[in-house]
Chain A
Amino acid sequence: MRYHPRAGDLALAAAVLLPLVVALPRLGWPANEAGDWLAWTGRVTGILGLAMLLLAAAISIRVPGWDRPFGGLARLWRLHHGLGFGAFVLLMVHALALALAAVPLGLPVAVEVLFPPFSRGVIWLGWLAWLAMVLFLAPTFGFFGRPRYQAWKRLHLVSAVALLLALAHALPLAGETWPWWLLGMAGLAAIAWRKLGSRQARLAYRIEAVEPLARGVVELVLAPQGRRLVHEPGQFLYLTPLDKTLAAGRGEEHPYTITSAPADDRLRIGIKDLGDASHALQTVTPGSIARVEGPYGDFYGRHPSGRHRLWLGGGIGITPFVGGARDLVARGVVAAQVLLIYLTNRRERAYYLDELESIAERLAGFSVVVHDYLERGALDVAFLVEHCPGFAEREIHLCGPPAMNAHLMRLLTGQGVPRSRIHSEVLDFL
């Protein structure tokens, strides 16, 4: 799959490379001997690895709106994950390459590079930083199975310790310290904001109604208790319910897609029973208070191309399209034709369908087609051609369960639809 860089990616790449660019004139280029190459590799991987670690922390700040230059929060989290992975691998290469570079001087020297006397504590700080990384990354990379989401989140806080230790290791050894101060402060400030400051920025809402849509699916209707959330269609928010009677998830934040139109005076979110917290929310007490943080995501993008649109939604993945359709009604105009294909297993399970069909009847340029999996099998090219002959020329948005997304992505790219015209946000590790 081709990679399409965003403006944020380029800024991030520049920041990752900054300490290396500053250090390169000093590091020079290694001589031809293997030892020199290894020592050089050890230093370069150390610099890049630490930069990645600090920037992975910096981009975890999750300030609403800051995710959009990166193509939305889901994509930003994938970049964060990739940076963490890169840092972990590169920092191990860093230690090993420096030790191996000293092998020509004798094994004791090589071992002492890794494990010097305790008087050279700065090296041991590097080891402690690595241990802290193992502690918070092992569950992320599933070394020994996956803990529960909240336990994982708490363990991920060890990253702050890893950052501090890594900086304490690098600053006394680094040739140029200012890039490390800069990136280090950015990383630590992001963690501090996430854990301490962001709570103050959450908006208070009262849960006005809990409307059942199907078994295990409800729509919460939220009334603002002060400042209201300004959002665009298809975006999502983090909801922290405070209802004391909740069996699970009280005070925990989880992401949910906004289904109301931006112009609505009530905020609506569609919630499917997919875990303890979302299960408990099915019976949350009306009248209770919830905190809202957001909006996040870039589902429909900021720069519409003017092409006709094809929306493909299934399961709880129909929610961004409900928000999109409600927005079209609220604005009363459809600039480019929109066809929504609702992929469902059984038509009677297709929640929101009645409302979507009613919008289609009222609004010229917006139409809905149901694809019934049990009746027709997986969606295929024949179905697309029958209902949307020019589908390959449209701007395509898709949202659904991972298997559905993967199937549709294969189907569409196989028909020559460029990846840049297929838009999808998967909230699977938010």
Chain B
Amino acid sequence: MNTVAYTAFIAFLSSVLTLVSVNALSSPDAVVPSDPEGITREELARHDSAESCWKAIHGTVYDVTGFIADHPTPAAVMLEWCGRDASEAWDNKRPGRPHSSFAEGMLERFRVGRLVD
């Protein structure tokens, strides 16, 4: 049991370090802008379909078009919020319970800009 525990410990450390190292050595992704572009509500509203689905969550705009098929709920749940502020839906995955940190981490991938008036 001791050998297995030690092996698992080293394997875990190695895997995490590998993941972090490979990520650090990869070229930065150009999709996520470093200085987020300002996006107006009118511009946001134009992306209100399954072909182009943008959502504003707490002031940041995300293009989640490519994720609709992967989202655990039926597509209609996601599509309902395309082109508008979806903070309420984000904060209430179930009533009173927001999406997880895991989902938050995934969301960052889709950031396209910040909402401006």
Contacts and interface: CB of A to CB of B under 8 A. Distances in A.
A is bound by B:
yes
B76 interface: no
Most buried by A among B12, B104, B105: B105
20 contacts: A85-B4, A89-B4, A89-B8, A92-B8, A95-B12, A102-B102, A102-B105, A105-B109, A108-B29, A109-B108, A109-B109, A113-B102, A120-B104, A122-B101, A137-B5, A141-B1, A141-B2, A141-B5, A143-B9, A175-B94
B33 to A, nearest CB: 14
B100 to A, nearest CB: 6
Interface in A57-113: 81-82, 85, 88-89, 92, 95-96, 98-100, 102, 105-113
Interface stretch (B20-28, B34-42, B48-56, B78-86): B20-28
B102 A81 contact: no
A134 B26 contact: no
B75 interface: no
B106 interface: yes
Nearest to A103: B19
A112 B20 CA distance: 10
Contact of A88 (B5, B19, B97, B104): B5
B5 A112 contact: no
A173 interface: yes
A418 interface: no
B105 to A, nearest CB: 4
B23 A107 contact: yes
Contact of B8 (A88, A100, A107): A88
Contact of B106 (A85, A102, A115): A102
Given A116-B104, A123-B101, 11 more contacts: A39-B102, A92-B8, A107-B22, A107-B26, A113-B105, A114-B16, A122-B101, A141-B1, A143-B5, A175-B94, A175-B97
Interface in B73-117: 94, 97, 100-102, 104-106, 108-109
B6 A143 contact: yes
Contacts, number: 80
B interface: dominant SS? helix
A414 interface: no
B105 A116 contact: yes
A96 B101 contact: no
A108 B106 CA distance: 9
Contact of B105 (A100, A112, A141, A143): A112
Interface residues of B, number: 26
A416 interface: no
Contacts of A275: none
Nearest to A89: B8
Contacts of A88: 5, 8-9
Contacts of B12: 92, 95-96
B106 A105 contact: yes
Nearest to A92: B12
Given A88-B8, A89-B5, A92-B9, A110 B101 contact: no
Contacts of B23: 107-108, 110-111
A142 interface: yes
A110 B102 CA distance: 9
B1 A85 contact: yes
Contacts of B4: 85, 89
Contacts of A108: 23, 29, 108-109
A408 B19 CA distance: 49
Contacts of A96: 12, 15-16
Nearest to B107: A109
Contacts of A105: 106, 109
Contacts of B108: 108-109, 112
Contacts of B105: 102, 109, 112-113, 116
